[in-house]
């Protein structure tokens, strides 16, 4: 399995959120500003990569019956580490994401990759898988945040970019760049309603695109045969 | 005391519904809501596990984690282990006592472990520093809120099969859009309060 194939799988053809359709709770809950989106995405990326490496390294000594319990303990350990690090170094992010950081423990993406990939493959492959699947997750989060933030509150990069001096801030106070004048945004998109709607539409777009590309591929193969 | 209990119940069932306003437990919500019978079975199991988990985790946090000074970094690990063990016990008990219900629930029972509504309610109880009774009430009514959401949604989803929507929306996409409308409806409850 080469790196390029793994990368396309993580980002597009086997994207954890849009194609495997797992780990939806946090995706919808926190994608209200770019700051949250990137923070959550990177946290999951780091935890997923660490868990993949550890589980892959000990895969031969894990007894089959209790493997899920062991996965959960490994994951809970890394989640706690990241949680405490965020509390110490980026408190604004920690309070913005709230309960969704400890909830990464039950995020199906991580336990799903452990069960489907890293408990079967080697350490290096699992490491790459963690990075690429995490990247796929981050991309979807960023996309959701951009759509919801732009249409909902009319800004880009809220919390992360400081509109006035365009410096990156990590204390969550950046106002972001205002694209749509204040009061003209569709406020409902920032509410829970917008989370469901945006993710539903993104999934539909993805399904449409994948079907079109599959049809195109099939047509090409047919032409080659003829 | 009574007012706080009513407030917690009202929040858990309507104003802060776990699914439609807090996004906890979306995976089982979408996974088992395609048939009314599985939806109700799952809900009963979730109510039970959420109530029990709230009670046991409160006791563990209060009498084990805090006295030993490890609450800061052991909470998540301890809670998820409690939930996993609890689900395992429920599974064993049902298998022996009510085999019919056990076989009806099938795969959904073990899946409750990874239901973020269960871990979520326990973590939120700790975060809000609820007492024992308040935690149990929050767990129980949170489960009721889950039931309300999933049963309402299952009844709509049974009709979705006859609806005519774009092909790209097949599967979870149309469900999410439907859930969005539900969330919009549940927003109507926000701001409801019990005057103290």
Q: What are the tens digits of pLDDT across the range A169-226?
A: 666 666 677 777 877 778 788 888 999 999 999 999 999 999 999 899 899 888 887 7
Q: Give me the number of domains chain B comprises.
A: 1
A79 interfacial to chain B (CB closer than 8 Å): yes
Q: Which two tokens stand for residue A13?
A: 């053809």
Q: CA B14, B46, B147, B138: dihedral to nearest 10 degrees?
A: -20
B15 interfacial to chain A (CB closer than 8 Å): no
Report the candidate in A40, A151, A45 with the shortest Cα–Cα distance to residue A90: A40
Q: Cα distance from A19 to chain B (closest Cα, Å)? A: 10
Q: Cα distance from A167 to chain B (closest Cα, Å)? A: 32
Residue B69's pLDDT is 85
**CA A35 to each of CA A27, A95, A143, B31, B70: distance values in angstroms, whole numbers, following the listed order:** 13, 12, 12, 30, 30
Q: Cα distance from B127 to chain A (closest Cα, Å)? A: 9
Residue A45's pLDDT is 95
Q: Is B188 helix (H, G, I), strand (E, B) or coil?
A: coil
Residue B134's pLDDT is 92
Q: What is the largest CA-CA distance in chain B?
A: 59
**CA A40 to each of CA A30, A86, A100, A199, B153: distance values in angstroms, whole numbers, following the listed order:** 8, 11, 9, 16, 29
Residue B194's pLDDT is 66
**Is B195 domain-assigned?**
no
**Is B88 domain-assigned?**
yes
Average pLDDT of the residues in A21-36: 86
**Is B196 domain-assigned?**
no
Transcribe B52-97 into DSSP letters: HHHHHHHHHIIIIITTTT-HHHHHHHHHHHHHHHHHHHHHHHHHHH
Of A28, A108, A208, the CB nearest to B23: A28
Q: Which residue has the tokens 């935890």?
A: A47
Whether residue A93 is predicted with pLDDT greater than 60 in this model: the reply is: yes
User: Could A203 and B114 be called an inter-chain contact, meaning their C-beta atoms sit closer than 8 Å?
Assistant: no
User: Could A72 and B179 be called an inter-chain contact, meaning their C-beta atoms sit closer than 8 Å?
Assistant: no
Residue A9's pLDDT is 85
A204 interfacial to chain B (CB closer than 8 Å): yes
**Is B192 domain-assigned?**
no
B179 interfacial to chain A (CB closer than 8 Å): yes
Residue B27 belongs to domain spanning: 2-187
Residue A196's pLDDT is 92
State what percent of residues in chain A have pLDDT above 90.
33
ipTM of this predicted complex? Answer: 0.85
Residue A35's pLDDT is 87
Per-residue confidence band for A127, with pLDDT thresholds at 50, 70 and 90: very high
According to DSSP, residue B25 is labeled S
Residue A190's pLDDT is 84
**Is B167 domain-assigned?**
yes
Residue A46's pLDDT is 95
State what percent of residues in chain A have pLDDT above 70.
92
Specify the range with the lowest mean pLDDT, choosing from A35-44, A111-120, B94-103: B94-103
Residue A142's pLDDT is 92
Chain Cα centroid distance, residue B96: 25
- Mark the ranges of chain B whose per-residue pLDDT is less than 70: 105-108, 193-196
Residue B195's pLDDT is 64
Beta bridge partners of A159: A174
B69: left (phi over 0), alpha (psi -120 to 50) or beta: left
Q: Which two tokens stand for residue A145?
A: 């945040």
């Amino acid at each position: 399995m080469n790196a390029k194939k793994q990368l396309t799988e993580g980002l597009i053809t086997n994207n954890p959120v849009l194609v495997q359709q797992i780990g939806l709770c946090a995706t919808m809950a926190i994608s209200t500003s770019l700051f949250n989106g990137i923070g959550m995405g990177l946290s999951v990326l780091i935890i997923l990569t660490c868990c993949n490496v550890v589980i892959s390294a000990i895969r031969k000594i894990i007894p089959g019956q209790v493997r899920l319990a062991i996965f959960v303990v490994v994951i809970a350990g890394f989640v706690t580490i990241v949680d405490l690090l965020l509390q110490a170094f980026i408190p604004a992010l920690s309070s913005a994401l709230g309960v969704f950081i400890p909830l990464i423990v039950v995020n199906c993406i991580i336990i799903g990759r452990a069960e489907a990939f890293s408990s079967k493959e080697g350490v290096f492959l699992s490491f790459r898988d963690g990075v690429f699947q995490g990247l796929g997750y981050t991309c979807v989060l960023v996309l959701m945040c951009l759509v919801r933030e732009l249409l909902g509150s009319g800004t880009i990069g809220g919390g992360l970019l400081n509109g006035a001096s365009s410096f990156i801030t990590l204390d969550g106070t950046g106002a972001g760049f205002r694209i749509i004048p204040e009061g003209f945004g569709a406020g409902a998109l920032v509410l829970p309603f917008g989370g469901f709607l945006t993710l539903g539409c993104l999934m539909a777009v993805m399904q449409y695109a994948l079907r079109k590309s599959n049809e195109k591929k099939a047509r090409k193969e047919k032409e080659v045969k003829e | 005391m009574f007012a706080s209990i009513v407030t917690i119940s009202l929040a858990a069932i309507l104003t802060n519904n776990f699914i439609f306003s807090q996004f906890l437990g979306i995976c089982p919500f979408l996974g088992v809501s395609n048939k009314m019978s599985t939806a109700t079975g799952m809900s009963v199991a979730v109510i039970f596990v959420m109530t029990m988990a709230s009670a046991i985790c409160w006791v563990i946090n209060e009498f084990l984690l805090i006295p030993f000074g490890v609450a800061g970094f052991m909470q998540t690990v301890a809670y998820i282990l409690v939930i996993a063990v609890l689900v395992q016990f429920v599974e064993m008990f049902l298998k022996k006592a009510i085999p019919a219900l056990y076989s009806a629930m099938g795969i959904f029972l073990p899946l409750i472990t990874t239901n973020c509504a269960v871990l979520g309610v326990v973590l939120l109880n700790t975060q809000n520093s609820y007492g024992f009774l308040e935690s149990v009430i929050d767990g129980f009514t949170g489960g009721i809120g889950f039931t309300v959401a999933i049963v309402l949604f299952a009844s709509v989803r049974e009709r979705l099969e006859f609806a005519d929507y774009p092909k790209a929306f097949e599967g979870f996409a149309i469900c999410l859009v439907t859930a969005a409308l539900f969330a919009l409806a549940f927003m109507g409850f926000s701001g409801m309060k019990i005057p103290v």
